[in-house]
Chain A
Amino acid sequence: MVLIGESIHIISKDVSDAVKERNPKVIQDLAKAQAEAGADYIDLNLGPAKRDPEEVTQWLVNIIQGVIDLPVSVDTLNPIAMEAGLKACKKRPLLNSASGRTDSKELMLPLAKKYNTDVVISVLTDKGCPPDIDSRTESIMETVALANELGIPNEDIWVDPIILPVSADQKQVAEALEFINILQDLLPGVKSTVGLSNVSNGTPEELRGILNRTYMVMLGRRGLYSAIADVLDKELVSLNKGELPNIVDLIYKTMDGEAIDVSSLPQKEQDYVKTARVLMGETLYSHAWLES
């Protein structure tokens, strides 16, 4: 799975302070650390980028490109910042993201064509996040058709089903697995991506990793192409490289509903089985899901 490093995020106080002070070091260190950890892309999350959008975005893209050789995922809702960022990219970037929202269709999607980028298209619409698999499908079919009309081929499109926190909406977490599973039938040739860590948003900090890692393996099995993820999580990168085949196998068995004698397994394996069961919607989530 292609991993997009998520750590340069404007919500992080270190990052936002560094941007305010135009202090490149913090950001460059994060870029280097993620590149060394195994990221394939570096996500540059600017949020709405209200102040000096062009100048800030170009500065960021440039300082990152000054220290690493990876392509950048320019992650903002602001089309002005987006365009400035794409222009500054040396390698073919990822436009992150467009969606089914009217403003996004009008202002973001055309930029993907203009700058010949790969583009993330999410299922969001003017009404927000579609509540079930059918409405997700409806939204994405419509937006991808529009992208095709603009001359963007399916191969350049990375569909994002929008992952919700398991602590808030467990049903949709299971449904996103199914959505990824049927995606190639719906839109042959498209790629896909998710904001992986969102699945563990709202979960106590020390327990987030195992949710992220397990969900990555599960989504991967259903055909997910890439994930915006915490690549500084070593176990996550190892799993992705296939270095932990036993864990992957156990998660697959859990997904297949095979009988597993959980109590006979070592602690770590037990935790992965329990987590997979929660993410499938088989057991009710609580913050104490590993304790029972």
Chain B
Amino acid sequence: MEYKAPLETYAGKVAEVVIGKGEKAMKIGGESVLPFHFFEGTIENRPRLALEVFDAEPPGWSEWELKPYKDIISDPVAWAKKCLELGADLVCIRLVSTDPAGKNAPADKAASVVKQVTSAIKSPVIVYGSGDETKDIEVLTKVAEACAGENLLIGPLAKENYEPISKAALDHGHCIIAQTPLDINLEKELNVKLLKSFPRERIVIDPLSSALGYGMEYSFTIMERTKHIGVMFGDNTMQMPIIADLGSECAKTKQAKGNEKQGLLWESITALSLLLAGANILVLRLPESLKLIKEIIEGKI
């Protein structure tokens, strides 16, 4: 008798989220199998890799993190262009200047930076606010208005502020990042609440990413379970693509701060692990690790 490999059949499909507009539009997710299970189905959209751009000079970066952007570190537009030259699929702007615990820059100013970058580059744009739940309402609403129709991916939206930010994103045509603190039950709760007024095809989940040795296994488990529940068991409140915002987490580690090569490996290993868990977008810091991960995805390594 001919041997037939046992194959899993899946009950669900990850929503295909499109970010960016026109020629820049990029598809995220959409798979109906577990990550890298090419033998069980097709994965049309490979994971997308983003590099970070800060809207203010990044504090505490080591010499080798700064090296690729040496002369353009206070020019977000030039920095974003450079990211694409270095191989990034898209860029992730961090509006760190708006943090009330730091510079507390006005929302308008941050929104205008996002607008300049968005119009200058040929890729979709991810925008992360400072993470201050109150200030982010103002900042991300302004960003949504200033870039109306650009179909940005903006976040983080948390349980405390998802209502006003999702409304602004809906009104001005953007996608959103739903963020919860490493807890699958809270992740589902936020999704359920968002889905009452926001389309599934415009939500990306950020379950929080931790670095290797600093809790990465929690992130791994939650991403893996999200895919199991959404794709294997067909729970349609858990069928959104996942973003793994891991570069800055890895850069904070003792191992990455002390040694360039170690930092590169730390980020690459965390990135690869979270890809295997099911991440659809990776936000990385180091162009070298982006290159490495890209080669792995393309099967060159």
Q: B-contacting residues of A (Cβ < 8 Å)?
A: 167, 283-289, 291-292
* Interface-lining segment among B88-96, B105-113, B181-189: B181-189
Q: Does B282 contact A (CB under 8 A)?
A: no
Q: Does B25 contact A (CB under 8 A)?
A: no
In contact, B238 and A284 (Cβ under 8 angstroms): yes
Chain B residues near A284: list those with CB within 8 A: 184-185, 188, 229, 235, 238
In contact, A288 and B229 (Cβ under 8 angstroms): no
- Closest chain A residue, CB of each to CB of B189: A286
Interface size class of B (residues with CB under 8 A): 10 to 19
Task: Report, nearest first, the 4 A-B pairs whose CB atoms are least far apart.
Answer: A286-B188, A286-B189, A288-B192, A292-B192
Majority secondary structure, A binding face:
loop
Given A284-B238, A286-B192, A291-B192; 7 other pairs, CB 8 A cutoff = A167-B185, A284-B185, A284-B235, A286-B189, A287-B189, A289-B192, A291-B193
- Closest chain B residue, CB of each to CB of A292: B192
Closest beta carbon of chain A to B82's beta carbon, Å: 41
| A283 vs B187: C-alpha distance when bound (angstroms) | 14
In contact, A288 and B189 (Cβ under 8 angstroms): yes
- A sample of 16 inter-chain contacts (CB < 8 A) reads A167-B185, A283-B235, A284-B184, A284-B188, A284-B229, A284-B235, A285-B188, A286-B186, A286-B187, A287-B185, A287-B189, A288-B188, A288-B192, A291-B193, A292-B192, A292-B237
In contact, B195 and A292 (Cβ under 8 angstroms): yes
| A167 vs B188: C-alpha distance when bound (angstroms) | 12
Q: Does B196 contact A (CB under 8 A)?
A: yes
Closest beta carbon of chain B to A288's beta carbon, Å: 4
- Closest chain B residue, CB of each to CB of A166: B185
| A146 vs B231: C-alpha distance when bound (angstroms) | 48
- Closest chain A residue, CB of each to CB of B187: A286
In contact, B185 and A285 (Cβ under 8 angstroms): yes
- Closest chain A residue, CB of each to CB of B228: A284
Chain A residues near B235: list those with CB within 8 A: 283-284
- Closest chain B residue, CB of each to CB of A170: B185
